[in-house]
């Protein structure tokens, strides 16, 4: 039999030769990294095998190790220098630990497992995880998005001793679907329309077949995403609290369940840690995996049943790095053996490293007591999926990988987990921001129609309908509601089997803001997420967050500077809202080399949040319910047009971006929740976000139950404005419209006394949106006409 592994001499190589080796083997390791690798093998006094080099490359890849988020950054803001030792520890972990210390018992597990868990009630816990699958989706949109969702579902299945997936979220950033073909021709990239259709179908075919409702999502369009589309997929799960903790012990059988191992998905982890180029499509085809949701559904059925029967000691998914990372996670401390010969393969003649590193989909690795293996085998047979005992744990402290009777990999993991620290520099220069810009406010109606036709605002209905958002029969607040089930909502709320409490889910993403004020983007994005959750019925003290960052080239100081400033914003916001980050992920190198230089995506921050709704009576939709009700606006409106849809449509690039006082906002939200929402004073509430007040008011009325009349002069404000574009279209944070029964209006006003809150208008039965100022009509449009523009914005492209 020909050898299935090679020994690669590295001990005597020069730095140049090491770098060349890394390039030839596609290891994506820098010359500094390769020198450390060389040192490791000099110390243990032998040459590495190709399996070992591949394992190191995978372990140290950006995808797995987040070395940029852990790097030491010399950051300069407006000439002042500061040193950040690990953005992750400084801006994510430290504030989260501080919050957890303030709220003992709320976060049950975070930073250690596949997802972060929070307490739902006395018995159950809910968790959430979101990931990106950007590079695969750029090359093969259907398969890339398909396996992106499949992967994050497995994260939840491998969280604790196996959580049950109960909801999916999906967020996309694309080039506009009407992008001229001339912009994509000749670049060997797929047109944004092809990306969008492929990605949506990929998410659809995986999520629907898994029987998990896709309840939340968003799409952003920007020309910079033409070359590097972003695809975020997330999954929420539920698990008994007693099944969260898992521990490896010596003497357990290590078992793989699900799909077979093949040559698909090789080098996925290292591939996603490098830039895209025009040759990517061909070279990297084999890094994109192929999805089979039914295989994963069978695996899910086995794992949930096995967990309920108490058969599982430890479980994790085969994600990036395949068996290598799963076995590494399970066996690096206890030690153990993995026998590659036993792995069921899709094809013959696979090299040892290919079997060990393959990222073939739909595989889960479990550790079970040897006496429970037969019962687990019966379950696998019952659900018609394949199961194999791949190896065992022992107390040697060393993971040995065997193939055809030979050791092909034997690494001391304590050395591997100390990847060399990266050193980076970043710079941020704050740009001037204008207020009081002279704008024409005499055709606000036409402006509103233009804003409603913008891709940032239009209805996602054609996409939402392709996803099953009601399977499992627990979606209480759906993505679309109102009298005709087509009006937008702010959050989704999911009933949890076996509990009186519910879980809420919301997200926000505002990449436009970060182009001028990334700190404000960070704070504003967190604010919007928290606000949506609370006004939909979530207890303000029971909100947890996820941070997902994407950016271009981190070695560009200007690009990295924006990321650092954004991270500061999200740290401060989390502390103010008492909402810890319980999980997160980052994706770098989202830039594309063209003959005219690199195109970087804007620094993009997705904030997903989830929380506890204490009682189904607290669930509150965003759609107008009556034609005789009164409207209150909570939160100040300021002269902050920066980053708004209006500003983009009018090419205003230097207006002030909304500034968020998170501490003040949180006091407002808590008051609203405690004294208004949970006291039954609220009929409906809708957050003000993209498009500002005019869009939010019309969206409320898209329920089809009434029109709205609002007096712009009554809007709460601290500093006012010079023209009516501001109250109509500024996207100041912290604001939401509240519909109140006229008989409860006084009670509501006194509940909110002392807060920036005013009675600004009333519902009508005239079917119009009317905004007035100085006793005159400033804007009046038929709701039906606005809804038509909004509802059909995407349909021509879809």
CB of 374 or CB of 473, closer to other proteins: 473
Among the residue ranges 255-263, 361-369, 476-484, 546-554, the one whose residues contact other proteins (CB under 8 A): 476-484
Residues 386 and 378: their CA atoms lie apart, in Å, by 11
Tell me the DSSP string of 551-566.
-S-TTSHHHHHHHHHH
Asked if 399 touches other proteins (CB under 8 A), the answer is no
CB of 212 or CB of 219, closer to other proteins: 212
Pick the binder of other proteins from 469, 571, 768, 791 (CB under 8 A). Answer: 469
Asked if 290 touches other proteins (CB under 8 A), the answer is no
CB 121 within 8 A of CB 500: yes
Residues 341 and 233: their CA atoms lie apart, in Å, by 34
For the bound state, the minimum distance from the C-beta of residue 536 to other proteins, rounded and expressed in Å, comes to: 12
For residue 511 the two structure tokens come to: 């990449």
Q: Dihedral angle at the C-alpha atoms of 351, 355, 361, 362, nearest 10 degrees?
A: 140
Asked if 471 touches other proteins (CB under 8 A), the answer is yes
For the bound state, the minimum distance from the C-beta of residue 382 to other proteins, rounded and expressed in Å, comes to: 5
Pick the binder of other proteins from 178, 341, 497, 753 (CB under 8 A). Answer: 497
Asked if 149 touches other proteins (CB under 8 A), the answer is no
Residues in binding contact with other proteins, number by CB under 8 A = 42
Nearest to 196 by CA among 640, 693, 794: 794
Asked if 476 touches other proteins (CB under 8 A), the answer is yes
Residues 782 and 767: their CA atoms lie apart, in Å, by 6
Q: Assign residue 722 a region: left if phi > 0, alpha if psi is -120 to 50, beta otherwise? A: alpha
CB of 200 or CB of 757, closer to other proteins: 200
Asked if 464 touches other proteins (CB under 8 A), the answer is yes
Asked if 571 touches other proteins (CB under 8 A), the answer is no
CB of 301 or CB of 412, closer to other proteins: 301
* DSSP assignment letter at 594: E
Query: Where do the H-state alpha helices sit in 601-686?
Result: 645-649, 662-671
For the bound state, the minimum distance from the C-beta of residue 498 to other proteins, rounded and expressed in Å, comes to: 11
For the bound state, the minimum distance from the C-beta of residue 495 to other proteins, rounded and expressed in Å, comes to: 8
CB atoms within 10 A of CB 102: 12
For residue 688 the two structure tokens come to: 């003000």
C-alpha neighbours within 13 Å on the C-beta side of residue 580: 26
**CA angle (627, 628, 633) in 5-degree steps:** 90
Asked if 40 touches other proteins (CB under 8 A), the answer is no
Among the residue ranges 16-24, 286-294, 532-540, 607-615, the one whose residues contact other proteins (CB under 8 A): 286-294
Burial of 798 (0-12, 13-18, 19+ CB in 10 A): middle
C-alpha to C-alpha distances, 524 to 217, 451, 558, nearest whole angstrom: 18, 20, 21
Segment (H or E) for 532: helix 518-535
Binders of other proteins among 705-744, rule CB under 8 A? 705
CB of 305 or CB of 555, closer to other proteins: 305
Print the binding letters for residues 598-617 with other proteins: x by CB under 8 A, - otherwise. ------------------x-
C-alpha to C-alpha distances, 525 to 390, 432, 517, 645, 664, nearest whole angstrom: 44, 21, 12, 15, 16
For the bound state, the minimum distance from the C-beta of residue 212 to other proteins, rounded and expressed in Å, comes to: 8
Asked if 499 touches other proteins (CB under 8 A), the answer is no
CB atoms within 10 A of CB 498: 10
Nearest to 334 by CA among 280, 425, 395: 395
Asked if 260 touches other proteins (CB under 8 A), the answer is no
CB of 79 or CB of 473, closer to other proteins: 473
Per residue in 74-95, is it b (16+ CB within 10 Å) or e — as a string?
ebbbeeeeeebebbbebbbbeb
Binders of other proteins among 203-222, rule CB under 8 A? 204, 208-211
For the bound state, the minimum distance from the C-beta of residue 280 to other proteins, rounded and expressed in Å, comes to: 30
For residue 25 the two structure tokens come to: 């083997």
Binders of other proteins among 103-122, rule CB under 8 A? none
CB of 43 or CB of 375, closer to other proteins: 375
For the bound state, the minimum distance from the C-beta of residue 119 to other proteins, rounded and expressed in Å, comes to: 23
Give the residue numbers marked as catalytic: 63, 133
For the bound state, the minimum distance from the C-beta of residue 55 to other proteins, rounded and expressed in Å, comes to: 34
Asked if 480 touches other proteins (CB under 8 A), the answer is yes
CB 177 within 8 A of CB 455: yes
Print the binding letters for residues 295-334 with other proteins: x by CB under 8 A, - otherwise. --xx--x---------------------------------
Print the binding letters for residues 669-708 with other proteins: x by CB under 8 A, - otherwise. ------------------------------------x---
Kindly state the greatest CA–CA separation across the chain: 90
Binders of other proteins among 369-388, rule CB under 8 A? 381-385
Phi first, then psi, for residue 97 (nearest 5°) are -65, -35
Q: Tell me the Cα Rg of the chain.
A: 27
Asked if 792 touches other proteins (CB under 8 A), the answer is no
Segment (H or E) for 477: strand 475-477
Asked if 294 touches other proteins (CB under 8 A), the answer is yes
Print the binding letters for residues 737-766 with other proteins: x by CB under 8 A, - otherwise. ------------------------------
Among the residue ranges 105-113, 482-490, 629-637, 716-724, the one whose residues contact other proteins (CB under 8 A): 482-490
CA 625 to chain centre: 32
For the bound state, the minimum distance from the C-beta of residue 265 to other proteins, rounded and expressed in Å, comes to: 20
**CA angle (618, 494, 692) in 5-degree steps:** 65
Going through 86-123 in order, the beta strands assigned E by DSSP cover: 107-109, 116-119
Pick the binder of other proteins from 100, 244, 483, 664 (CB under 8 A). Answer: 483
Asked if 625 touches other proteins (CB under 8 A), the answer is yes
Asked if 473 touches other proteins (CB under 8 A), the answer is yes
Pick the binder of other proteins from 308, 386, 466, 593 (CB under 8 A). Answer: 466
Nearest to 315 by CA among 110, 166, 163, 120: 163
Asked if 124 touches other proteins (CB under 8 A), the answer is no
For the bound state, the minimum distance from the C-beta of residue 384 to other proteins, rounded and expressed in Å, comes to: 5
Residues 6+ away with beta carbon under 8 Å from 164: 156, 237, 238, 239, 304
> Would you tell me which residues interact with other proteins (CB under 8 A)?
204, 208-211, 292-294, 297-298, 301, 381-385, 464-476, 478, 480-483, 485, 495, 497, 616, 619, 621, 625, 705
């Amino acid at each position: 039999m020909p050898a299935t592994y090679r020994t690669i001499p590295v001990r005597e190589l020069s730095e140049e030769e090491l770098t060349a080796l890394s390039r030839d083997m596609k290891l994506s390791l820098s010359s500094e990294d390769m020198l450390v690798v060389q040192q490791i093998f000099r110390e243990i006094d032998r040459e590495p095998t190709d399996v070992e080099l591949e394992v190191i490359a995978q372990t140290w890849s950006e995808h797995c190790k987040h070395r940029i988020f852990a790097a030491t950054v010399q950051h300069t803001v407006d000439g002042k220098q500061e040193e950040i030792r690990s953005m992750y520890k400084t801006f994510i972990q430290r504030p989260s630990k501080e919050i957890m210390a303030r709220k003992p018992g709320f976060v049950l597990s975070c930073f250690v497992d596949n997802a972060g868990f929070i307490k739902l009630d006395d018995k159950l816990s809910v968790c959430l995880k979101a990931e990106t699958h950007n590079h695969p989706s750029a090359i093969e949109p259907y398969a890339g998005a398909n396996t992106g969702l499949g992967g994050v579902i497995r994260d939840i299945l491998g969280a604790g001793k196996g959580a049950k997936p109960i909801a999916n979220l999906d967020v996309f950033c694309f080039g506009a679907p009407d992008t001229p073909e001339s912009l994509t021709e000749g670049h060997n990239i797929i047109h944004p329309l092809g990306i969008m259709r492929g990605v949506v179908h990929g998410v659809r075919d995986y999520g629907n077949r898994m029987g998990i409702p896709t309840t939340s999502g968003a799409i952003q369009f920007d020309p910079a995403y033409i070359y590097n589309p972003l695809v975020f997929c997330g999954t929420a799960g539920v698990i008994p609290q007693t099944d969260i903790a898992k521990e490896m012990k010596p003497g357990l059988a290590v078992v793989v369940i699900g799909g077979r191992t093949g040559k698909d998905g090789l080098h996925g982890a290292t591939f996603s840690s490098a830039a895209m180029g025009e040759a990517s499509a061909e070279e990297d085809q084999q890094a994109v995996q192929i999805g089979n949701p039914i295989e994963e559904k069978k695996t899910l059925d086995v794992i949930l049943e096995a967990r309920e029967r108490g058969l599982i000691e430890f479980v994790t998914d085969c994600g990036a790095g395949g068996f290598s990372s799963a076995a590494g996670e399970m066996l690096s401390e206890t030690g153990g053996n993995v026998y590659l010969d036993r792995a069921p393969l899709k094809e013959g003649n696979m090299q040892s490293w290919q079997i060990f590193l393959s990222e073939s989909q739909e595989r889960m690795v479990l550790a079970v007591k040897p006496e429970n293996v037969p019962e687990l085998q019966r379950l696998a047979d019952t659900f018609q999926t394949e199961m194999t005992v791949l190896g065992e744990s022992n107390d040697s402290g060393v993971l040995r990988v065997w193939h055809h009777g030979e050791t092909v990999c034997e690494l001391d993991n304590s050395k591997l987990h100390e990847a060399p620290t990266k050193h980076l520099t970043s710079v941020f220069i704050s740009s001037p921001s204008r207020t009081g810009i002279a704008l024409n406010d005499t055709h606000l109606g036409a402006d509103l129609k233009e804003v409603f036709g913008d891709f940032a605002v239009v209805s996602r209905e054609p996409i939402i309908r392709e996803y099953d958002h009601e399977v499992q029969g627990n979606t209480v607040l759906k993505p679309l509601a109102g009298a005709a089930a087509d009006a937008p909502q702010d959050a989704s709320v999911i009933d949890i089997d076996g509990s009186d409490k519910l879980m809420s889910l919301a997200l926000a993403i505002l990449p436009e803001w970060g182009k001028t004020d990334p700190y404000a983007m960070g704070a504003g994005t967190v604010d919007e997420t928290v606000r949506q959750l609370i006004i939909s019925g979530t207890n303000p003290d029971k909100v947890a967050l996820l941070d997902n960052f994407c950016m271009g080239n981190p070695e560009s100081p200007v690009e990295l500077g924006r990321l650092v400033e954004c991270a500061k914003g999200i740290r401060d916001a989390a502390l103010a809202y008492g909402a810890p980050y319980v999980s997160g992920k980052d994706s770098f190198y989202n830039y594309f080399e063209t003959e005219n230089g690199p195109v970087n995506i804007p620094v993009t921050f997705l904030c997903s949040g989830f929380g506890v709704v204490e009682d189904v009576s607290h669930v509150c939709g965003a759609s107008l319910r009556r034609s005789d009700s009164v409207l209150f606006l909570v939160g100040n409106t300021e002269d902050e047009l920066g980053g708004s849809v209006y500003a983009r449509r009018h090419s205003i690039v230097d207006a002030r971006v909304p500034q968020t006082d998170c501490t003040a906002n949180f006091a407002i939200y808590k008051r609203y929740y405690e004294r208004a929402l949970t006291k039954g004073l609220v009929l409906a509430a809708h957050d003000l976000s993209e498009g500002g007040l005019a869009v939010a008011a019309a969206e409320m009325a898209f329920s089809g139950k009434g029109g709205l009349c609002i007096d712009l002069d009554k809007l709460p404000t601290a500093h006012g404005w010079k023209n009516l574009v501001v109250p109509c279209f500024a996207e100041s944070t912290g604001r939401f419209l509240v519909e109140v029964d006229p008989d409860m209006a006084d009670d509501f006003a006194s509940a909110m006394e002392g807060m920036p809150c005013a009675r600004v208008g009333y519902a009508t039965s005239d079917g119009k949106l009317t905004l007035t100022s100085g006793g005159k009509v400033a804007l009046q449009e038929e709701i039906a006409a606005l809804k038509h523009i909004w509802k059909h914005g995407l349909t021509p492209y879809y």
